[in-house]
Amino acid sequence: MIIILGAQATDQQVDDVIERIESLGLQAHLSRGTYRTVIGVIGDEDKISAAPFEAIPGVVQVVPVLPPFKLASSEAHPKPSIVATGNAKFGGGHLGLIAGPCAVETEAQMDAIGRAVSEAGASVLRGGAFKPRTSPYAFQGLAEEGLKILADTGKKYGMPVVTEVLDPRHIELIDRYADMFQIGARNMQNFVLLTEVGRAQKPVLLKRGMSATVKDLLMSAEYILSQGNPHVILCERGVKGFDSLTRNLFDVAAVPAIKSMSHLPVVVDPSHATGRPDFIPACALAGVAAGADGVHIEVHNAPAEALSDGPQALLPEQYAQLADQLREMFELVNKNTPKTL
């Protein structure tokens, strides 16, 4: 960590900072310039990052030099991690394809969609049973009934299933039906939920919050990892932007950014990132071209009748065509020498 003091800082203030550093068992390295004094702090990183040096009089800036995540970091774990469930694999040269409707609605709907995405080669079936809806008056999901339908459809078509968890009190219930937990964007910093899914020993699909930096996302992954659950898949699903043309702003550079700092697999979700079915194929392909280890796409057999987010779903036949293109693209990308220099 680097501590910077301003031109007006007195000798006493500089001494106070150094004393504080040394009182924590850390070392201080001092450089005095004409306009600024710079003090490097060396020692136990946990102690360093916990101390509020910014609040010491005279200090104008504090610059951390080490990322605050450890288990998620590729400095500690240089080889890419592979997260697997059933026959699906994400990372280390494997492409995982997650597909299904926004919400589980009926057996017939899930059967139609499950069969279609299975035939298209998707590896994980998704479907929401507990839905985080902006409006309290909107459809909130089928709860346990939805979980049953999802699990049954998954079994029938040989696909592991993923569903969103909203409430720490539901984890046991969901654990009985699902193969993978999803933490939604709105809960990326719901640390209670992160800690609880960290205790479960199943894969977690962790979606990036709409105003979260890549480092924030890795810190949230760290919550799960620090509970002993190493099976974390990160998901880029768009951040808040100023152009209302798309629902969110698909941050494709998050893929190489995460790969440069972490060993965890990364999935892209162009459905939520754009909210525009006509832009989904281009963005899905872009994600794979950028190095993503998986693609998450919402598919519905009757979008105009859907109870939730119908307008952003692909039709089964559109998905089948796209899935072929994604596999072809993934093959090309993997054949090449690494894209990140």
Positions 199 through 218 that interact with a second copy (CB under 8 A): 209-211, 213-216
Interface pick for a second copy out of 11, 23, 25, 33 (rule CB under 8 A): 33
**CA atoms 260, 95, 133, 202: torsion sign:** negative
Q: What is the total count of residues that contact a second copy (CB under 8 A)?
A: 116
Interatomic CA distance for residues 277 and 266, integer angstroms: 21
Interatomic CA distance for residues 238 and 240, integer angstroms: 7
Interatomic CA distance for residues 101 and 125, integer angstroms: 9
Rule CB under 8 A: is residue 50 a binding residue for a second copy? yes
Rule CB under 8 A: is residue 219 a binding residue for a second copy? yes
CB of 86 to a second copy, least distance (A): 28
List binders of a second copy among 116-175 (CB under 8 A): 132-139, 166-169
H/E segment holding residue 61: strand 59-63
List binders of a second copy among 4-23 (CB under 8 A): 4, 7, 20
C-beta neighbour count of 31 within 10 angstroms: 10
Take residue 274 and report the two structure tokens written for it. 């754009």
Rule CB under 8 A: is residue 313 a binding residue for a second copy? yes
Rounded-to-10 torsion of CA 91, 121, 118, 316: 110
Interatomic CA distance for residues 191 and 161, integer angstroms: 24
Interface pick for a second copy out of 13, 24, 189, 327 (rule CB under 8 A): 189
User: What distance, in Å, lies between the first and last C-alpha atoms of the chain?
Assistant: 28
Interface pick for a second copy out of 115, 186, 202, 327 (rule CB under 8 A): 186
> Using CB under 8 A, which of the segments 1-9, 81-89, 109-117, 146-154 binds a second copy?
1-9
Take residue 169 and report the two structure tokens written for it. 């009190």
List binders of a second copy among 245-284 (CB under 8 A): 245-246, 249-253, 255-257, 259-260, 273-274, 276-283
Rule CB under 8 A: is residue 288 a binding residue for a second copy? yes
Interface pick for a second copy out of 10, 12, 31, 201 (rule CB under 8 A): 31
CB of 85 to a second copy, least distance (A): 24
Interatomic CA distance for residues 76 and 94, integer angstroms: 22
Rule CB under 8 A: is residue 58 a binding residue for a second copy? no
> Using CB under 8 A, which of the segments 67-75, 90-98, 144-152, 228-236 binds a second copy?
67-75
Take residue 224 and report the two structure tokens written for it. 């799960």
Contact indicator for 171, 165 with CB cutoff of 8 Å: yes
> Using CB under 8 A, which of the segments 39-47, 87-95, 118-126, 150-158 binds a second copy?
39-47
28 φ, ψ to 5°?
-115, 135
List binders of a second copy among 231-250 (CB under 8 A): 239-246, 249-250
Contact indicator for 207, 182 with CB cutoff of 8 Å: yes
Rule CB under 8 A: is residue 52 a binding residue for a second copy? yes
Interface pick for a second copy out of 176, 191, 199, 228 (rule CB under 8 A): 191
Rule CB under 8 A: is residue 56 a binding residue for a second copy? yes
CB of 194 to a second copy, least distance (A): 8
Interatomic CA distance for residues 336 and 94, integer angstroms: 15
Contact indicator for 274, 280 with CB cutoff of 8 Å: yes
Interface pick for a second copy out of 164, 222, 269, 293 (rule CB under 8 A): 222
Interatomic CA distance for residues 37 and 204, integer angstroms: 45
Q: What does the per-residue mask of binding to a second copy show for 97-116, with x meaning CB under 8 A?
A: --------------------
